[in-house]
Amino acid sequence: MENAKYEVKVERNVLIPLSDGATLAADLYRPDASGSFPALFSFYPYHKDDLIGAATEFQRRYFAARGYNVLLIDFRGLGGSDGIPHPAMDRGEGRDGAEAVEWIAAQPWCDGNVGMFGMSYGGISSLKVAFEQPPHLKAIVPIMGTNDIYLDYLYSGGCLSCLPSFGAWGSFMLAMNLMPPTLIDPAGRWYKVWQQRLEHAVPYIYPWQDHPSHDEYWQSCMVDCSQIKIPAFVIGGWRDIFPEAMTRVYEQLGSTNKKLLMGPWMHTLPDLSPREPVDYLPEMVRFFDRWLKNADNGVDSEPAVTYFVQGSANRWRNERKWPVSRTSFSSFYLGAKRALGTDPAGEDGSEQYEARPSVGTMAGLWDPTGLGVGLPLDQAPDDLASVAFTSAAMQADTEISGSPEASIKIAVERGDDVNLVVKLCDVAPDGSSALISTGWLKAAYRNGLESAEAVPLGQIIELRVPMVATSYMVARRHRLRVSISCSDFPRIFPTRTNPAIRVYYGGRRGSHVRIPVVALPKNNNHYAEVHRPDPTIERTPLAVVMTPRWTIERDLASGRTSVITGSHQQSIMINGGAFEMNHIARASVMDSNPEGAAVHGDTQITLELPSVGQMIVKTTSWIGQDGLSLTGRISLNGTVVFEKHWRK
């Protein structure tokens, strides 16, 4: 590999003792040289010996070859680690990771400087561990994660997540969390660890529906990023599930040494993205070299922010700050004849709207599993099923960078529950509509997400709907559109009944959207160059093969709309065995029966385990708005050895 300095040696299943007697299992990749080096680690629930190990093998060897000890560590009670797992997103994960930091720092092969990085759950755990402030953690690189899983994923604006959390991720994790350690040791530790796991198995998703408000349960999972004082390099994607989270984390970090990289990516690593791939690993090395090796490489004197402007710009930009210092907010007001304009002085009026729960399928997958598919489609069909307000042609190219916010006045004419969904779109001269940003708010949480309030019938209420961060250039002669509906399926569950609302416009206090507009730079100094991945390098050396699934079905006879996602994956495991997964999740709804909306998941993981044989872990799940039914069954060489049901 280019710039590699060392050969790499590997130690499998290094056991890290915790203070309560549990042990975390880790794989250690080291420079094959004498002396001590800084250490980097990632911390995941996705199994170092199979799924995440195969997916990130290239990363570990890359960093080790450049003078770092690199560890991939399994969460407590998962993969090769023993103990009883924490509930998903629990702060205990951070405390375990903080203990691991101090253990790593005390090893003879470590020079006492430790860094942490990871994507998705690995990004979340990086923030959790940094919040605990272990003394030897010197820098982190959280990638596409969040510090508030309620706000950014499970209950966006108080609206219950549907396919992304319960189907695409939750049903898949039901099977993953029942798997045994796949590194089979001769002493039989793996079997004891697995039996303990099965005895205490509780699905990650089991408690989520019991906490619809941002209550103490979710608040205890949050990370106060202002308490993170160490250097941090935040990486996110505009089409990821966490764009708002990553920009918010960057803004809130207590560190004065921080960087932000935002690309047009979905939930995929930047170098593996099908769109605008970026080789981010050299930048991570430079960042860690600066803060773990004290290298004078200029990282802390460069522009802190690099981001991609989507739309007609399609180019990278450097800035010193986020939000960009040249940002000003422009208000666009809803008006008569479904017009959208900058003049607040317009005649008062209203538009009546009846909810259609299938609206939202064109907005993309919001995929948390890294499929590489699911970008938003033409929004025009969803716009037609919403109440949409469209501007005149823009007189100049307009960069929207930041987090828009909608202030919409409505009255509920029918129904006791309303999800308000606001979308900002770019309408081309040919009529196609491109999604720029979305916001969600359940009307019952209009005064705060901590507790629900009754929604009065016939009374005008104001809903302030925060929209996710973006960077997008609307071209001259294009138009802006604000689409308002009561559904974003399958991103969120619809309400149990179809409400009818009236949207009010006109007057200086009328419904409007505040849009962050960035003045275009006066010179080329703000334009950035990024490094592309070398196409000759194999970045999945363990033969990871993945076929994604994404289907939208409309049954015209029954009126049922379904969105199906999942994948078929195969890889060689670290121990030489084989891993194969078939996962499919389906979210379905009928416009006439929103209460029947549900997610079905089927996952089968087939393991070929050396000296053990074939193990099949099969799970099924059904999740409605008020309950769920889950099953898990495990067979070993054709004999069922475990079966359990969870219902509520």
CATH number at residue 333: 2.60.120.260
Interstrand relation of 8-17 and 37-44 (parallel, antiparallel or unpaired): unpaired
Asked whether residue 487 is assigned to any structural domain, the reply reads yes
- Same domain, yes or no: 549 and 430: no
Asked whether residue 197 is assigned to any structural domain, the reply reads yes
Asked whether residue 531 is assigned to any structural domain, the reply reads no
Q: Are 142 and 232 in contact (CB under 8 A)?
A: yes
Q: Are 520 and 474 in contact (CB under 8 A)?
A: no
- Same domain, yes or no: 178 and 273: no
The CATH number of whichever domain residue 256 belongs to comes to 3.40.50.1820
Asked whether residue 533 is assigned to any structural domain, the reply reads no
Nearest to 482 by CA among 429, 430, 420, 419: 420
289, 319, 349 — which closes off a domain?
Answer: 319
Run of H or E including 614: strand 613-623
- Same domain, yes or no: 600 and 457: no
DSSP one-letter string for 327-396:
EEEEEEEE-GGGEEES------EEEEEE--TTTTGGG----SS--S-------HHHHHTSEEEEEPPPSS
Token pair 């959208």 is found at: 340
The pair phi, psi for residue 421, each rounded to 5°, is: -120, 125
266, 293, 319 — which closes off a domain?
Answer: 319
Residue type, 245: A
- Same domain, yes or no: 191 and 280: no
- Same domain, yes or no: 398 and 470: yes
Cα separation values, 162 from 488, 494, 589, Å: 10, 9, 11
Nearest to 351 by CA among 511, 467, 481: 511
pTM over 0.85: yes
Q: Are 278 and 530 in contact (CB under 8 A)?
A: yes
CA distance 471 to 93: 33
The pair phi, psi for residue 626, each rounded to 5°, is: -125, 10
- Same domain, yes or no: 86 and 136: yes
- Same domain, yes or no: 567 and 482: no
- Same domain, yes or no: 175 and 288: no
- Exposed e or buried b per residue across 589-619, where buried means at least 16 C-beta atoms within 10 angstroms of its C-beta: bbbebbbebbbbbbbbbbbebeebeebbbbb
Residue type, 127: L
Residue type, 419: N
CA distance 130 to 98: 8
Structural domain containing residue 491? 327-520
- Same domain, yes or no: 207 and 219: no
Cis peptide bond N-terminal to 490, omega within 30: yes
Asked whether residue 527 is assigned to any structural domain, the reply reads no
Asked whether residue 301 is assigned to any structural domain, the reply reads yes
Token pair 């206090």 is found at: 509
pLDDT at residue number 586:
98
- Same domain, yes or no: 75 and 194: no
Asked whether residue 537 is assigned to any structural domain, the reply reads no
Tokens encoding 154 = 């499970």
Asked whether residue 510 is assigned to any structural domain, the reply reads yes
- Same domain, yes or no: 183 and 224: no
pLDDT at residue number 32:
97
Q: What does DSSP assign to residue 222? A: -
CA distance 331 to 508: 11
pLDDT at residue number 540:
85
Burial (0-12, 13-18, 19+ Cβ within 10 Å), 34: exposed
Q: What does DSSP assign to residue 76? A: T
Token pair 């199979």 is found at: 50
Q: Work out how many domains the chain is built from and give that number.
A: 3
Q: What does DSSP assign to residue 457? A: B
What are the 10-residue block averages of pLDDT along the chain, 648 residues in total?
87 98 98 97 97 94 98 98 96 98 98 98 98 98 98 97 96 96 95 96 96 97 98 98 98 97 97 96 98 96 97 94 96 96 89 97 95 96 98 97 98 96 98 98 98 96 98 98 98 97 86 96 83 91 89 95 97 88 98 97 97 97 96 98 97
